[in-house]
Amino acid sequence: MSFIDELNRRKTFAIIAHPDAGKTTLTEKLLLFGGAIQTAGAVKSNKIKKATTSDFMEIEKQRGISVSTSVMAFDYKDFKVNILDTPGHEDFAEDTYRTLSAVDSVIMVIDCVKGVEPQTRKLLEVCRMRNTPVIVFVNKMDREGRNPFDLLDEIEKELKIRVRPLTWPIGIGKSFKGVYSLYEKSLNLFQGDSKTTVEETIEISDLNNGSLEKYISEDFSSQLRADVELIDGVYDDFDKKKYLQAEVSPVFFGSAVNNFGIKELLDCFVEIAPTPQGRDTDVAGEIKATDPKFSGFIFKIHANLDPKHRDRIAFLRVVSGKFERNTYYYNVREGKDMRFSNPTAFMAQQKSVIDESFPGDVIGLYDSGNFKIGDTLTEGAKFNFKGIPSFSPELFKYVTNLDPMKTKQLQKGLEQLTDEGVAQLFTKKTDGRKVLGTVGALQFEVIQHRLKSEYNASCGYDSISLYKALWIECDDKKKMDEFMLDKANHIAYDKENRPVFLAESAWLLQMAQEKFPEIKFHVKSEF
C-alpha cells in the first residue's frame, strides 16, 4: 500500500463525555464492531468514581488501566481507526486537553436524560479552540429522556454549535423502537422487546410510499414522517465540508449498552471523519500530513508502574512522513538524535513492536527520562509543533522537603513527574522556593504518593494563596525589568525558565495590569 493510501485510511479521534454518559461503553462497542475484542466488559472504565478520592490504590489502578487504554486501534472495512482515550476525572483536564491535540476529530457522547453537562461544555470549548470536527452521539435512548428536538436545541444553545441530525429515534425510553438513518435512508429496528438484537437494516428510500407501516405502527410512522419533515425544514442539508471545518456537528441517536445505533455511527464516521491533518509549528508554518519527511510530537508520558523500572512510555503522534524503527530522529528541544529499537503500537488491548508507522498513528516510545510533553521529533529539521501549551493552574502549594537526606531524589522526582505533566513546577525568583500548581486537588496526592513509592522522597506542602500563574511578556526590556523588580516577590520561573507572575487575586492582577500597561499577561504558556 502506498504512503498516501496508508495515510488516507487512518481516522484518529477521541470520545469525550461527561463521566457516566457512556464513553467506555461506546468505546467497547466500537471495538466489538471492529472485531478487536470478542467480549463485552473487556474495556475497563478508567474513571475514578469517587470525587475526592485519597485512595491511592484507586489512583494506581487508574494509571494501570489508562496505559492499556491510551490508544485503541482497530481495522474496520478499509480503515484503520485509532481511538485515543481521555481521562474521565475532571482533575485530569490538562491530560485530556493534551490528548485532544493528538486527534483529528472527536465523538461527543451526551446522555439523553441529562443533556449537556458541565464537562461536556468544557471539553467542547477545547474542541472549538482548535476547530476540531465534532460528531455528537446522543446515548441511552432506551431511557425516558427528553424530546430529541429539545435536546438538539439545548446542544446548540449550550454548546454554541450548529447541529444536523443524521439518524433519528423512533420512540424513546420504553417505546424506543429503533433509528431511522437520514443519511442512508434506512430503518434499523430492535428485534422484539429484547432491545439487544437488531433486525436487518431495511432500506426505505421514500418515507411516504406506505412501506413504513409494514415495519412500525401507524402512529410511529406518521410521527417519523412529521419529524423528518420538520428536520428538513429546520436544519440545512448535511454538508461534509462544513463538518470538516467544525461549523456543523452531525448527530446520531442510539443506545451504546444495547449496541444500538452504533453501526450507523461507525459507518458514517469512517466515511466523513477527517483523515490525518497537519499541525502548526513555531518557525516552519504548517507541516502537512502528506509531507514525506517524518515528524511527530509527544503529547503524553506515562511512567512505569513498577517503581524498580524508572522507564516511561512517551506517546508520539505521527504528524507527517513515515516513522521507522531503529532510525535516528532529531529531538528538537534536546538538540540530539534518538533511536528507538522497540516502538510500540497499540491494537485494541494488544501491544506490539512495530517497524513503521504513518501519519495519524500513535506510538509508544520507551524513554529513560529524555522526553518532555510537547517535544518534537523530526528527520533533522528544527521546528516545534505548537498546540500543547501549559495553562495556568488552579491550585498551588509550596513544596517542602520532609527528608533532607533525600534532597536529590526529591528534585529528580519533581522534575520527572512534572515532565510527565502531572503538575507544573515554578521556582520563585527571590527565595528559590518551589511552587507546585495543578488543576485538581488529586494531583497533589498523586505526586506525594509517587515521590515516595518511585523516588523514595518525602514531600510535604505549605499553603500558598494564589489566584493564577500568568506568563508575561513585554516588547520593552526596560519596562519588563522594572516590572520584575517591582513585583519581585510575585515572580517565578517555569521549567523552561520563562517568567510568570503569581497573582494572589483577580483584583491584584488588575492592579498590576493598570500599573504596567505594557506588560502582557497570558493564561497559557504559548502565545
Q: Which of 202, 257, 270, 474 binds ligand G4P (CB under 6 A)?
A: 257
Supply the minimum distance, in Å, between the C-beta of residue 194 and ligand G4P. 14
Supply the minimum distance, in Å, between the C-beta of residue 261 and ligand G4P. 9
Map residues 189-228 to x or -, x wherever contact with ligand G4P holds by CB under 6 A: ----------------------------------------
Supply the minimum distance, in Å, between the C-beta of residue 105 and ligand G4P. 18
Q: Are strands 134-139 and 248-253 parallel, antiparallel or unpaired?
A: parallel
What element of type H or E holds 508?
Answer: helix 506-515
Supply the minimum distance, in Å, between the C-beta of residue 443 and ligand G4P. 20
Total residues interacting with ligand G4P, rule: CB under 6 A:
19
Q: Fill in the amino acid letter for 50.
A: K
Count of H helices and E strands in the chain?
13, 31
Dist CA 243 CA 56 (whole Å):
42
Q: Is 65 in the site for ligand G4P (CB under 6 A)?
A: no
Map residues 140-179 to x or -, x wherever contact with ligand G4P holds by CB under 6 A: x-xx------------------------------------
Query: Does residue 194 sit in helix, strand or coil?
Result: coil
Do residues 238 and 165 make contact, with C-beta atoms less than 8 angstroms apart? Answer: no
Q: Which is nearer to ligand G4P, 15 or 244 (CB)?
A: 15
Interface residues for ligand G4P in 27-46 (CB under 6 A)?
Answer: 45
Supply the minimum distance, in Å, between the C-beta of residue 46 and ligand G4P. 8
Q: Which residues contact 271 (CB under 8 A, 6 or more apart)?
A: none
Question: What dihedral do alpha carbons 423, 429, 431, 434 form, nearest 10°?
Answer: 10
Dist CA 427 CA 425 (whole Å):
7
Do residues 374 and 279 make contact, with C-beta atoms less than 8 angstroms apart? Answer: no
Q: Which is nearer to ligand G4P, 19 or 115 (CB)?
A: 19
Supply the minimum distance, in Å, between the C-beta of residue 17 and ligand G4P. 5
Supply the minimum distance, in Å, between the C-beta of residue 38 and ligand G4P. 18
Query: What is the distance in angstroms between the CA of the first residue and the CA of the last residue of the chain?
Result: 40
Q: Which of 24, 70, 96, 357 binds ligand G4P (CB under 6 A)?
A: 24
Q: Is 113 in the site for ligand G4P (CB under 6 A)?
A: no
Phi, psi of 233 (to 5 degrees): -75, -35
Q: Which residues pair with 503 in a beta bridge?
A: 468
Question: What dihedral do alpha carbons 301, 303, 304, 309 form, nearest 10°?
Answer: 110
Supply the minimum distance, in Å, between the C-beta of residue 173 and ligand G4P. 10
Do residues 81 and 75 make contact, with C-beta atoms less than 8 angstroms apart? Answer: yes
Q: Which of 3, 20, 482, 484 binds ligand G4P (CB under 6 A)?
A: 20
Q: Is 114 in the site for ligand G4P (CB under 6 A)?
A: no
Q: Which of 105, 119, 255, 275 binds ligand G4P (CB under 6 A)?
A: 255
Q: Which is nearer to ligand G4P, 19 or 389 (CB)?
A: 19
Using the CB atoms, write b or e for 471-505: b if 16+ within 10 Å.
bbebeeeeebeebbeebeebbbebbeeebbbbbee
Q: Which of 7, 16, 17, 422 binds ligand G4P (CB under 6 A)?
A: 17
Q: Which is nearer to ligand G4P, 117 or 356 (CB)?
A: 117
DSSP 16-84: EESTTSSHHHHHHHHHHHTTS-SSTT-SPP----STT---HHHHHHHHHHHHHTSEEEEEETTEEEEEE
Q: Is 23 in the site for ligand G4P (CB under 6 A)?
A: yes
Q: Which is nearer to ligand G4P, 85 or 104 (CB)?
A: 85
Return the residue matching grid coordinates 495515510: 7
Dist CA 488 CA 484 (whole Å):
5
Q: Is 22 in the site for ligand G4P (CB under 6 A)?
A: yes
Closest by Cα among 384, 373, 396 to 470:
396
Supply the minimum distance, in Å, between the C-beta of residue 25 and ligand G4P. 3
Supply the minimum distance, in Å, between the C-beta of residue 119 and ligand G4P. 10
Q: Which is nearer to ligand G4P, 255 or 392 (CB)?
A: 255
Do residues 363 and 345 make contact, with C-beta atoms less than 8 angstroms apart? Answer: yes
Q: Which is nearer to ligand G4P, 61 or 240 (CB)?
A: 61
Q: Is 127 in the site for ligand G4P (CB under 6 A)?
A: no
Q: Dihedral of CA 122/123/125/130: which sign? A: positive
Q: Is 21 in the site for ligand G4P (CB under 6 A)?
A: yes
Interface residues for ligand G4P in 77-106 (CB under 6 A)?
Answer: 88
Q: Which of 11, 12, 13, 25 binds ligand G4P (CB under 6 A)?
A: 25
Interface residues for ligand G4P in 448-467 (CB under 6 A)?
Answer: none
Q: Which is nearer to ligand G4P, 20 or 403 (CB)?
A: 20
DSSP 404: G
Query: Which residues of the shown chain bind ligand G4P in the complex (CB under 6 A)?
Result: 17, 19-25, 45, 47, 88, 139-140, 142-143, 255-258
